[in-house]
Amino acid sequence: MSSANVLIIEDETKLARFVELELKYEGYSVDIARDGREGLAMFDGGEYDLVLLDLMLPGLNGLEILRKIRKASDVPVIMLTAKDEVMDKVVGLDTGADDYVTKPFAIEEVLARMRTALKRGARKDGPESLLRYQSLAMDVNKREVRWGETEIDLTKTEFDLLAYLLSNRNIALTREQILNRVWGYDYYGETNVVDVYVRYLRSKLDDCFQVKIIHTVRGIGYCVKDEGHEDRV
């Protein structure tokens, strides 16, 4: 049973009540806000371990709320929304969401994704909160990346991808492993989304600083490796 505090920001009264009852049955403490401004005010005034956030809300939409939350907190946020286009998911994840669940959904899936997000959030406070590679330094808690004294601006997905690769140096990671860990949900599109984000990172790191950080492992995926190390799966 969980003792985490969860904030649900959802304007569909019946759905919010259903999710609230299911979460309380699982041991979560739950608060509900039914419009965007109320939800943001409750978040600012409370201590929450996770937020379930609708995208289309009166007063203030979910993306606006998410942007404001991310300015002050790294609390896990899972979007709950009827918008299921791939670009909607990409925008939500790049804005800072940890996961994205489309309506209608099975409550068991939401609970599983919540457990994953909470575990991932707990790991950020662990010994791997500071990651270094050559002149690259990542502070996972502060969500900051620097090459020497130069700060590098990464989206949430780019940051999480780089952190995962650095945390598993000298291990060749498959695209499926990367999708499951970084995107945090069962991705129903092409795995080449990983290739796209690797290109984004290379344009901000390799191209800017004339280094080769992320190596392609043919037939497998990607790896950050120290010189002289062989790739391991």
Q: What is the pLDDT of residues 158-193, one digit of tens each?
A: 998 999 999 888 889 998 888 888 876 555 556 688
Write the DSSP symbol of residue 179.
I
Residue 140's nearest CA partner among 154, 149, 148, 79 is 154
Domain 5-123: CATH class, spelled out: alpha beta
Q: Give me 229's structure tokens.
A: 């190390």
pLDDT of res. 121: 63
Virtual CA dihedral for 81, 84, 87, 92, nearest 10 degrees? 20
pLDDT of res. 14: 94
CB under 8 Å to 3, separation ≥6 — which residues? Answer: 27, 28, 29
Domains 5-123 and 127-224 share a fold: no
pLDDT of res. 78: 92
Domain boundaries, the chain: 5-123, 127-224
Q: CATH for 127-224? A: 1.10.10.10
Residue 24 identity (one-letter amino acid): K
Distance from C-alpha of 25 to C-alpha of 27, rounded to nearest angstrom: 5
pLDDT of res. 90: 73
pLDDT of res. 82: 80
pLDDT of res. 191: 62
Q: Give me 156's structure tokens.
A: 């949430």
Pick out the chain residues at pLDDT < 50: 1, 125-127, 229, 231-233
